[in-house]
């Protein structure tokens, strides 16, 4: 029963190819609480929790097979287990959650146990954000991203705190009698910010256009197609500026499949085209640098976003800080030489060091490249450095027509709410969209289509959220309050939960 609950809740709760039911995600923590109540030892609680969560996580990560097999050249025998292996990592946190509920014993029916349950879940998602290079995918709060009116609490306690509230709601659903009604004030707390928050007009706005080139992954790095790909983006941009007056044009991650920093025909053509457009362009491109250390490789690569001014000259750039393991570099590569990365090239990527927002007119653009949008601390850093708008450029062509692009989008939406910043999300094959600071989507592209999106009223905001102002304090509160509540509940008398 618990396994079926968790599987259905995880599969339908997160984006999937068939039917997305956000409320279903509450079945995942509910199933783990039931498993904890049936366990007889701590070890059994952990194992039952992990086995309960594993099928749902593995099923929701089915799309991992596509980039690993189709683009990483691994045989099916090695590609097919990948969702189970990565799902097993996420399920291990489910096992720890189940163990934590087990340790409450009969205090698991006390109202304070629901607070403990939520804090424990928030702590585990926070840990998952950092451990083993970090993989905060399939967080509970992201399931609710299509319902922007339920996300306001993320501006106060972050997405991990909102996930904790959802876990507490799932816990409440399996309690008996009147205690089950405790879910009602939790629902009220979830939607309260949307009722009481009034959006003040932005002090300034910007007009932004983005182009979705829809370049197939198999063609993207074909050197014979470099000119064709550049022409595709230039022509789309000409259509955009002929129809709309824009302060900025945005192209996706690695839209330029060549080294813009090198002199040559392609780089010259890009600069001339931007000058003809007369509009600043933010575009992704591979880049490289040459380390000076004795034992350093001759070249290291960077995943870069260039800002070109209206005269076509490079004004600034941002290099991706948080790289994708096995996509842009191989962890422990010196000991695991048989593993290859998915991105073609002789050299591995290195994180960038220049984090400052890219400035163009009134816009201070905080850049998040692809995978970086799933990490709260990176959006936090950009806003702290002065970003009044965020841009997420990405290439989700790796994932094909799966649920991964939507799961990625749903995580990105949370960054907008946490930081009170609009997000301009431009992708190669979709989903491209404008995200309001409250999490609402304004226009969006379809998967694997060529498209131009434009908006004239992108808010440029400077006001910071409570979550931003107390970022570290809030994150430290989760583990310390979890431990404190565990001690308090275990010391209470046997009749306090009656």
Q: How far apart are CA 51 and CA 94, in angstroms?
A: 9
**Degrees, nearest 5: CA angle 376-280-417:** 25
The H or E element that residue 404 is part of is helix 404-419
Q: How far apart are CA 153 and CA 174, in angstroms?
A: 24
Beta-bridge mates of residue 434: 424, 442
Q: How far apart are CA 62 and CA 64, in angstroms?
A: 5
For residue 289, the 8-state DSSP code is E
**Degrees, nearest 5: CA angle 375-233-248:** 60
Q: Are 193 and 155 contacting, i.e. CB atoms less than 8 angstroms apart? A: yes
For residue 206, give Cα distances in angstroms to 249, 250, 424: 11, 13, 11
Relative orientation angle of helices 111-130 and 82-104, to the nearest 10 degrees: 150
Catalytic residue (one of 82, 98, 107, 320):
320
Catalytic residue (one of 157, 190, 370, 426):
370
Q: Are 229 and 257 contacting, i.e. CB atoms less than 8 angstroms apart? A: yes
Beta-bridge mates of residue 384: none
Closest CA to 28 of 1, 13, 6: 6
**Neighbouring C-alpha atoms within 13 Å toward the C-beta of 434:** 19
Q: Are 237 and 278 contacting, i.e. CB atoms less than 8 angstroms apart? A: no
Q: Is 235 a catalytic residue?
A: no
Q: Is 253 a catalytic residue?
A: yes
How does strand 204-212 pair with strand 248-250?
Answer: parallel
For residue 66, give Cα distances in angstroms to 132, 159, 331: 22, 28, 20
- The tokens describing 411, both together, are 């995580």
Relative orientation angle of helices 2-13 and 27-38, to the nearest 10 degrees: 160
Catalytic residue (one of 82, 190, 220, 253):
253
3-class secondary-structure state, position 3: helix
Q: Is 294 a catalytic residue?
A: no
Residue 10 CB neighbour total at 10 angstroms: 31
Q: How far apart are CA 171 and CA 164, in angstroms?
A: 10
- Among all residues, which ones are annotated catalytic? 253, 320, 370
């Amino acid at each position: 029963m618990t396994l079926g609950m968790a599987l259905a809740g995880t599969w339908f709760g997160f984006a999937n190819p068939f039917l997305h039911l956000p409320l279903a995600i509450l079945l995942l923590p509910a199933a783990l609480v039931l498993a904890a109540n049936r366990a007889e030892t701590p070890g059994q609680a952990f194992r039952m929790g992990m086995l309960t969560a594993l099928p749902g996580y593995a099923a929701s990560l089915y799309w991992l097979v596509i980039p690993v097999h189709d683009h990483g050249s691994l045989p099916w025998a090695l590609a097919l287990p990948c969702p189970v292996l990565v799902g097993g990592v996420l399920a291990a946190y489910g096992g720890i959650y189940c163990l934590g509920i087990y340790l409450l014993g009969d205090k698991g029916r006390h109202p304070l146990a629901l607070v403990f349950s939520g804090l424990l879940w928030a702590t585990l998602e926070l840990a998952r954000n950092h451990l083993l290079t970090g993989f905060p995918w399939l967080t509970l709060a992201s399931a609710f991203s299509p319902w922007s009116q339920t996300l306001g609490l993320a501006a106060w306690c972050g997405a991990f705190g909102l996930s904790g509230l959802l876990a507490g709601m799932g816990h409440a659903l399996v309690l008996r009698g009147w205690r089950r009604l405790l879910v009602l004030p939790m629902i009220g707390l979830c939607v309260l910010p949307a009722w009481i928050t009034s959006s003040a007009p932005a002090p300034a706005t910007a007009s932004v256009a983005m182009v979705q080139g829809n370049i197939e992954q198999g063609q993207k790095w074909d050197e014979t197609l470099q000119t064709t790909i550049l022409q595709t983006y230039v022509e789309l941009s000409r259509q955009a500026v002929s129809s709309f007056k824009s302060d900025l044009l945005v192209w996706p991650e690695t839209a330029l499949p060549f080294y813009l920093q090198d002199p040559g025909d392609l780089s010259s053509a890009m600069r001339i085209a931007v000058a003809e457009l007369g509009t600043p362009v933010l575009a992704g491109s591979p880049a490289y640098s040459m380390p000076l250390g004795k034992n350093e490789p001759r070249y290291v690569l960077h995943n870069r976003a260039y800002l070109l001014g209206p005269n076509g000259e490079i004004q600034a750039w941002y290099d991706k800080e948080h790289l994708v393991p096995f996509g842009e570099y191989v962890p422990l590569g010196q000991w695991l030489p048989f593993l290859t990365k998915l991105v073609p090239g002789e050299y591995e990527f290195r994180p960038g060091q220049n984090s400052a927002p890219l400035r163009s007119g009134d816009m201070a653009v905080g850049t998040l490249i692809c995978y970086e949008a799933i990490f709260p601390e990176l959006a936090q850093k950009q806003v702290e450095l002065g970003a009044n708008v965020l841009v997420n450029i990405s290439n989700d062509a790796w994932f094909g027509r799966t649920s991964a692009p939507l799961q990625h989008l749903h995580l990105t939406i949370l960054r907008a709410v946490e930081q009170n910043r609009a997000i301009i999300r431009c992708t190669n094959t979709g989903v491209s969209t404008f995200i309001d600071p409250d999490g609402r989507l304004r226009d969006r592209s379809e998967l694997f289509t060529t498209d131009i999106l434009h908006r004239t009223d992108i808010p440029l905001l400077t006001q910071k959220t409570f979550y931003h102002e107390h970022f570290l304090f809030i994150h430290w509160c989760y583990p310390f309050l979890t431990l404190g509540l565990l001690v308090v509940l275990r010391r209470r008398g046997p009749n306090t939960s009656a």
